């Protein structure tokens, strides 16, 4: 059995779990993105199993149809939106997810790293200090300020608890939220407009769906205070990227902390890279040692179960 582990950006997959636990398998690790569909097909043709690292590589119909030996996609995470499930099913390719990495702690922690980095200008001051400049921007505290959370699920709830520990007021809005549900978390339910208008920091924590795609537009950004920050560790398509760049350039909002982008890896000519009021991280929300180890262990267990003829966590039954 030949197994390809895709998009091991940080070159850590081989050491996080025991890949020898897969019987009679030759495992190959691909560190960087392989590239366009034609190159994907030519590179992956020898493999019977693909292990995908979250959604880093898209596997559309044109790619799957060019991989006649492929029998299993052992994905990491509960859902595999980057895979054409219908085509995989038609071709007899089993697609599995994992139950691992479900706590949301790593993303919630990164969210707070971005919030504090923004309001205290930590990356900016680090760069200035290395260039011989001392105290160039005045940061702000978060105590007594308002955090607006778009989506109060697993991750949003963890972010809210930290905000409360810092002495912040927390507002929330979500399509299924009610006053009673948010009150149980000590959070205030607000209107859609109020979420943006009242917040000193707005943090996005909803799943990307047909409903949430493009939710945050120039209108919502225009409702925010010029001193406010937008944080997005969810999915880029929830926020209109062109509108966000314009709001950052014009000073309509003070800044942003972003972990997700419309193109990943981010190309060197992306407009966000030219702005000095945005803190950027390369989609690190889930990419902690603990979460990736849990994900890859789940993928190994998916392969083991499939090899025994008893596939688990199958998404295309």
What is the rounded CA–CA span in Å between residue 176 and residue 211? 12
- Tell me if 211 sits within 8 A of 97, measured CB to CB: no
CA atoms of 118 and 101, how far apart (whole Å): 26
Structure tokens at 122: 């930590």
Alpha-carbon distance of 57 to 237, in angstroms, equals 17
Phi-psi region of 9 (alpha: psi -120 to 50; beta: other; left: phi over 0): alpha
Q: Strands, DSSP E only, in 31-184?
A: 49-52, 72-75, 94-96, 146-150, 169-173
Place of tokens 């299993």: 72
Catalytic residue numbers? Answer: 235, 264, 283
| Closest-CA residue to 161 (of 229, 108, 107) | 108
Q: Which two tokens stand for residue 34?
A: 């392989």
Rounded distance, CA 76 to CA 301, Å? 11
Cα–Cα distance measured from residue 299 to residue 19, given in angstroms and rounded to the nearest whole number? 10
């Amino acid at each position: 059995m030949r197994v390809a582990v895709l998009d091991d950006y940080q070159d850590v997959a081989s050491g996080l779990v025991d890949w020898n636990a897969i019987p009679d398998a030759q495992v190959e690790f691909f560190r960087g993105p392989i590239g366009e569909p034609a190159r994907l097909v030519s590179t992956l043709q020898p493999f019977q199993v693909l292990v995908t690292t979250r959604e880093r590589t898209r596997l559309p119909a044109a790619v799957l149809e060019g991989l006649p030996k492929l029998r299993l996609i052992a994905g990491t995470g509960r859902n595999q939106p980057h895979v054409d499930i219908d085509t995989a099913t038609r071709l007899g390719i089993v697609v599995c997810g994992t139950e691992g990495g479900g706590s949301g702690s790593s993303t919630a922690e990164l969210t707070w790293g971005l919030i504090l980095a923004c309001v205290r200008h930590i990356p900016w001051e680090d760069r200035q200090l290395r260039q011989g400049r001392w105290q160039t921007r005045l940061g702000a505290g978060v105590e007594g300020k308002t955090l607006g959370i778009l989506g109060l699920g697993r991750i949003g709830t963890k972010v809210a608890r930290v905000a409360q520990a810092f002495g912040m007021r927390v507002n929330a809005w979500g399509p299924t939220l009610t006053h009673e549900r948010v009150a149980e978390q000590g959070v205030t339910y607000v209107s859609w407009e109020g979420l943006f208008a009242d917040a000193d920091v707005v943090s996005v924590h909803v799943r990307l769906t047909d409903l949430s795609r493009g939710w945050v537009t120039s209108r919502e950004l225009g409702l925010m205070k010029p001193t406010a920050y937008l944080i997005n560790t969810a999915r880029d398509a929830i926020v209109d990227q062109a509108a966000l760049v314009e709001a950052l350039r014009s000073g309509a909002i003070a800044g942003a902390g972003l972990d997700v982008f419309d193109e990943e890896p981010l190309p060197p000519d992306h407009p966000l890279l030219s702005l000095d009021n945005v803190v950027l991280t390369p989609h690190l929300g889930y990419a902690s040692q603990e979460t990736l180890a849990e994900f890859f262990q789940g993928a190994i267990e998916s392969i083991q179960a499939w090899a025994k003829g008893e596939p688990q966590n199958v998404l295309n039954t």
